């Protein structure tokens, strides 16, 4: 049970630039809802001093919003389902909350309903120009532990930008000043497509409709199925065992650009994909895809500035596979399909995708359904028979220290679609991983059984 104590609006501590900020096609591609994140901190003497803790966070946030002034603005709808940002310093929202529970009562912090209560709620029924782009809920537990739950508009930032902001805020909260190379870069026009727009140079399958279950003409029935969440823990030894299996039996039925060993992400995502398909027990001819978001800063030529603040991500997708191939062929088959999807995203392909988005009269159909399902119906549901597997492995969330130590857990505060997963580094920072997954309840027990059994005994892996 969460009790809200207070709500405050935090504006930048100094005057900031005003006016309209153009949003890139990558920004427009993202959902306009907020990405929920929880950072859990253990009991310390400092965070028991509730007044000092909350005031420090508010004051430091006010100062951090000066260089990060777009987060204090408001979005406005314009033509074709697009958005623009009004930099008007209306501020972020900070909520103070208290729970009689202890951190131990929350278990492993899987994004259940109890965890969702730790993330501030946005009133999506109100006009978009009234929505804060950043909301923070500081929840204090009876044991002295803290949760800093945040909701940041996904139109404003991708994972890297969000992580840079939270680490900058934490640095200011510790009493330090941001250095010049830590100041964000806000000119998103560097991603603007030149005029006149060039026609797409590739077959952008990431914008095509996902496969449906055989025998279905839409996903309405599937969307109604009950689902649940779990948090999977994979040790460093298990990760290495899977990587070895993926790389010792190469599968060459792919047009891979490179032959480097499969990464942790490619390996674990392939294992997840095949185990989900195995648990769903579909027709062996059932088509399926994996979707993910790819951060493209280093892939552009020239790359954007190091501290570019915004979305520099695009969705990529595997080609259609069938259940039978994923289950019968070695682990490298799925890893190879993921590799193809990732290596497809060259500078030329990315710019072609941005041109494609820019050419659309209405961008709403292009927005990823995985960020909006909890709030509205979506025609492009990506669940069964498909999978979304996000990668947070390299995001520096465990450096977010507001002055009472580093978090003991960082993860999504909401996981809202069947077949949606995030692969994350574990708090131990020892090469082990944590995976947050939502799956239809009917399949979860079978999936977990296959997931761990197949790490050790998987056939053909």
- Residues annotated as catalytic (active site), given as ranges: 154, 401
d(C-alpha 401, C-alpha 175), whole Å: 11
What's the rounded Cα separation, in Å, for the pair 95 and 149? 10
The C-alpha atoms of residue 41 and residue 293 are separated, in whole angstroms, by 28
Q: Where are the beta strands (DSSP E) in 252-302?
A: 287-288, 290-295
- What does the block give as tokens for 438? 């939502």
* Beta strand spans in 223-348 (E): 227-234, 287-288, 290-295, 313-317, 321-322
Rounded to whole angstroms, the Cα distance separating 461 from 459 reads: 5
Q: Which has the closest alpha carbon to 294: 364, 370, 345, 357?
A: 345
> Counting Cβ atoms within 10 Å, is residue 259 exposed (0-12), middle (13-18) or buried (19+)?
exposed
Name the DSSP class of 104. Answer: G
Asked if 273 contacts 290 with a C-beta cutoff of 8 angstroms, the reply is yes
The CA R_g of the chain, rounded to the nearest whole Å, is 22
Closest CA to 105 of 117, 121, 120: 117
CA distance readout (Å), 63 to 11, 15, 55, 176: 9, 11, 12, 11
- Contact, 250 vs 319, CB < 8 A? no
Tell me if residue 447 falls in helix, strand or coil: helix
401 contacts 361 by C-beta, under 8 angstroms: no
What is the Cα–Cα distance from 452 to 448, expressed in whole angstroms? 6
Q: Which strand (E) or helix (H) includes residue 245?
A: helix 236-248
Contact status, residue 20 vs residue 84, Cβ threshold 8 Å: yes
Q: How far is CA 2 from CA 6, 123, 147, 417, in A?
A: 12, 18, 12, 25
């Amino acid at each position: 049970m969460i009790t809200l104590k207070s709500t405050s609006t935090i504006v930048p501590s100094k005057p900031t630039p005003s006016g309209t900020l153009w949003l890139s096609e990558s920004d427009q591609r993202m959902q306009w809802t907020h990405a929920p994140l929880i950072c859990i901190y253990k009991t310390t003497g400092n965070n028991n001093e509730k007044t000092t803790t909350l005031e420090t966070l508010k004051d430091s946030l006010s100062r951090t919003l000066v260089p990060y002034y777009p987060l204090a603005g408001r979005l406005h709808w314009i033509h074709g389902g697009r958005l623009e940002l009004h930099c008007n310093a209306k501020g972020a929202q900070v909520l103070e909350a208290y729970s009689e529970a202890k951190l131990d009562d929350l278990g492993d912090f899987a994004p259940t309903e109890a965890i969702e209560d730790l993330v501030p709620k946005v009133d999506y029924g109100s006009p978009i120009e009234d929505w804060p782009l950043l909301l923070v809920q500081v929840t204090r537990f009876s044991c002295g532990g803290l949760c800093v739950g945040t909701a940041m508009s996904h139109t404003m930032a991708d994972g890297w930008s969000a992580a840079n902001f939270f680490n900058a805020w934490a640095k200011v909260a510790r009493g330090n000043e941001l250095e010049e190379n830590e100041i964000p870069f806000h000119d998103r026009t560097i991603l603007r497509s030149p005029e006149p727009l060039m026609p797409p140079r590739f077959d952008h399958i990431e914008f095509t409709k996902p496969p449906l279950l055989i025998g279905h003409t839409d996903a309405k029935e599937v969307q109604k199925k009950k689902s649940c969440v779990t948090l999977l823990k994979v040790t460093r030894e298990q990760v290495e065992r899977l990587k070895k299996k993926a790389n010792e039996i190469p599968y060459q039925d792919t047009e891979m650009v490179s032959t480097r060993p499969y990464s942790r992400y490619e390996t674990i995502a392939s294992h997840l994909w095949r185990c989900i398909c195995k648990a769903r027990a579909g027709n062996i001819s059932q088509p399926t895809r994996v979707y993910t978001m790819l951060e493209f800063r280093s892939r552009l030529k020239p790359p954007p500035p190091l501290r570019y603040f915004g979305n520099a991500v695009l969705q990529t997708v595997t080609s259609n596979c069938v259940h039978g191939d994923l289950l019968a062929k070695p682990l490298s088959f799925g890893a190879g399909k993921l590799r193809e999807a990732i290596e497809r995203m060259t500078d030329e392909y990315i710019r072609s995708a941005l041109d494609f988005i820019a050419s659309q009269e209405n961008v709403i159909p292009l927005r990823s359904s995985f960020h909006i399902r909890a709030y509205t119906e979506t025609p492009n549901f990506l669940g069964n028979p498909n999978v979304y597997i996000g990668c947070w492995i390299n995001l520096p969330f465990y450096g977010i220290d507001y002055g009472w130590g580093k978090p003991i857990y960082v993860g999504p505060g909401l996981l809202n679609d069947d077949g949606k997963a995030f692969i994350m580094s574990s708090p131990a920072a020892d090469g082990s991983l944590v995976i947050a997954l939502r799956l239809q309840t009917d399949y979860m027990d079978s999936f977990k059984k296959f997931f761990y059994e197949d790490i050790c005994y998987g056939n053909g892996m």
